[in-house]
Structure formats: C-alpha cells, structure tokens
Amino acid sequence: MADSERVLIVGGGPVGSVLALALRQQGIPVLLVEALATPERECRAASCHPPTIAMLETLGLLDAGIAQGLVSPVFHYLDRVTGKRVGRFAIAEMQEPPRHAYVLQWEQYKIAETIVERLASDPDAEIRLSTRLTAIEQTADGITAMLTGADGTEEKVEAAYLVGCDGGRSTVRKLLGIDFDGYTWPERFLKIDTRYDFAALGDAITNRNYFSDPEEWMNLFKARGDDGSGMWRSVSPAKPGQPDDELTSPEAMEARLQRFCPKPGRYEIVTASLYAVHQRIAATFNQGRVLLAGDAAHVNNPVGGMGMNGGIHDAVNLAAKLAAIRAGGDADALLGRYTRQRRKAQVDGVQAQSVANKQLLGESDPVIRAARLDEIRRAAGTPALHDAFIRRSCMIDSLAAAEATP
C-alpha cells in the first residue's frame, strides 16, 4: 500500500465505511481505523432516503440493503390527541417519483458490517479495530498520524489525506481546533425498541410514523432487526431535568407507548436508551489535508432520519473530490468546494428541516398547532404540495441544491 496515496479514515461507522468503499472503487488505497473492538450495534440511524439509496446502488450495496432492510414507500403523520391520521405521503405516487421511490430501513451497523466484510480481502483496504488516533501532523505533501492500539502500542502512520468520520465527539475535529457551533436541546430523547407489530393496530400505522402531540410527540419506525423478524423503534422527548428512573422504568415506558398506541396487554420492551440531542455544524469541513464527514462535521435531531444520510452524502461527495485530486485536479479548489457543498446541504437542508420537523410535531400553542396540522392535511391532498413535502422530507431538494453549489 502506497502511503503517499492512501487515505486514513478515522471512524468505522456507516460514513467511514462508505467512504472507504467509495475510495477503493476509485482505486485509492485506504486505512480505516476504529476505536471500538467490534461494531456498535446500539444504533439509532436506520433510514436511507431515495438519494442515498441511489448512492448505495452505485456502490453495489443495494442488493444487500434490500435483503437486510425493509422497503418503506409511505410515511404517515398522526395527531396523538385525536388518534387520527392527518396525512399520508407516498413516494411512488409523486408526479415525478425518484428512481427509488421508497425509504430503505437499513440499520447503520448492518451497512458498516456489510462493507467491512467486502473490504476484508482487499489488500489495499487495511482495517484496524481497537485503534485510536491521538495526534496529527500535516505538511504540504501529506499527514502523519499517531495511532494507539488496544495494548497501548503507539505507531506513526503516513497518508496523503486524513478524514475524521469519528462522530459528534470527534477527536479529529478537536485536534484541528475547528469550532462546532450550535446548541443542545434542553430535553433528552428516549429511544424504545419493541418487537410488537404496530401494524396490527390498523391502517393508520405504516412503517414510518410521526405523531404530533403538544406535550410528548413520537416517531415510530419499523426495521428488520438483528434476526430479520422485525423491530419497532419509538423516539420521543423527555422533560428537561426528569430523572432517568422516572423515564426508563418499565411502568413509565409502558405508559408512554400506551399513550400513543393503546392496545390490550403490555409491550415487550427489548432495549431503551436516553441521549442528549444537538444541532451543531463545524465551521469548516476541511483544513489542509485533514477533512471532516458525518457526525464529526454536523449533528442534528433525529426527527426525519436525516443524520446518517447527510453523512453518506458527505462520503460520496468527498470520494469523488479525492479521486479528482488524484487525477491531477486542484486540491484547494476541490476541497473548498466540498466544504461549501456539504455545509450548504446542512445549513439550508438538514439543520433547517430537522428543526422544523421537531417543531411541527411538538407545537404546544393550540392555534399554531391546528394550523400546522391543517397544512399537513392540505399537503397530503394536493399533488404539487404532496410532492414538495416529500422532496423536502426525503432530502431530494437539499442534495440537488448542494450539488449545484460551485
């Protein structure tokens, strides 16, 4: 493997693994390092929107995604107060539907594991687990990074470029001193996984559901789960300052699920977790030969399932830029454009839309809430508005606008 050509990728989640695969398909050698000993299976992201599905197809991953995931062509908005469906949005029923007219519910750990398995026999794709980045030095010609293995052994490695795909607490971003501007939401989010098939409750429930409520909204999605038998995931907010035991006790979680989807008998809760939620974006995604992608560059609330998608879009965009540089393109111009395009996708797209999604579901003012629910009803019933709603929700417009940015 030529150190003078390879790209060092820090972080082996879906973004880092997609970047590694995309670079290998461009003939660029990679070294992928991951701090964990095994892939993290406690995942939150599982939605791939139509533009992302097209990228997965180009990378040769779509067959695996269909086999391991769940095709979801429709999503619903519901009013928890009345228990009624407010709007139905069907991607395939758009006047000009995308090539892939559905959302693919494919959990992030499955994406990463599939890619790592495919790269395992590639001599120009080196993968190291239980390995941490501790230092970075860069020159005009390349970078030198200090890596520390599980046994504490330190090693200097060289590469042409380094990409931080190492999450919201990114070591790469911190070592570069890049500001991560934004804020943290005052409420934490509670994720509950259950095997109960909510579709049994009637036609109001589909694979992807958004419940509006003035006090406690909820997202409800279905994925295939580890064994393929199906797993439903709910995400809803906790009141600021509410103790963990008041939120995660069996009684509290049962009451929360029954509030939105009442049914006879108790829910079988498989896992549950509480986490803080942020809206932040890095001041720049490139600094010399070191770059940021995915959560290392931007984080957002999960309403709408846009975070992982944005990271995959970063990876595919960046792989094309690095391939163009390798072919003789102007590195400064190409990497500057990477930052401009991907920050625009975040600022004008993911950040703005995810905040709007959250506010839509949790609006407490009765007059504003009624007006917003009426907007959803009107959008669902008007072809042009229906299509525009989907293009915003499924990141079709934001990706197109970003790609057009010079």
Give me the DSSP letters along 247-310: HHSHHHHHHHHHHHS--SS---EEEEEEE--EEEEES-SEETTEEE-GGGTEE---TTS-HHHH
Q: For tokens 């049914």, what's the residue?
A: 263
CATH class name, domain 7-71+99-184+278-403: alpha beta
Q: Domain extents for the chain?
A: 7-71+99-184+278-403, 189-275
Does residue 324 come out as left (phi exceeding 0), alpha (psi in the -120 to 50 range) or beta? alpha
Rounded-to-integer distance, Cα 318 and Cα 296, Å: 14
- Residues 348/401, Cβ–Cβ less than 8 Å: yes
Residue closest to 219 by CA, chosen among 47, 27, 65: 47
Q: For tokens 């797993």, what's the residue?
A: 231
- Residues 260/218, Cβ–Cβ less than 8 Å: yes
Note down pLDDT in tens along the chain; length 406 residues. Answer: 356 799 999 999 999 999 999 999 999 999 999 999 887 776 678 999 999 999 999 999 999 999 999 999 999 999 999 999 999 999 999 999 999 999 999 999 999 999 999 999 999 999 999 999 999 999 999 999 999 998 999 999 999 999 999 999 999 999 999 999 999 999 999 999 999 999 999 999 999 999 999 989 999 999 999 888 899 999 999 988 889 989 999 999 999 999 999 999 999 999 999 999 999 999 999 999 999 999 999 999 999 999 999 999 999 999 999 999 999 999 999 999 999 999 999 999 999 999 999 999 999 999 999 999 999 999 999 999 999 999 999 999 999 999 999 9
- What's the pTM? 0.96
**Helix or strand (DSSP H, E) at 210:** strand 208-212
265 contact partners, CB below 8 Å, separation of at least 6:
none
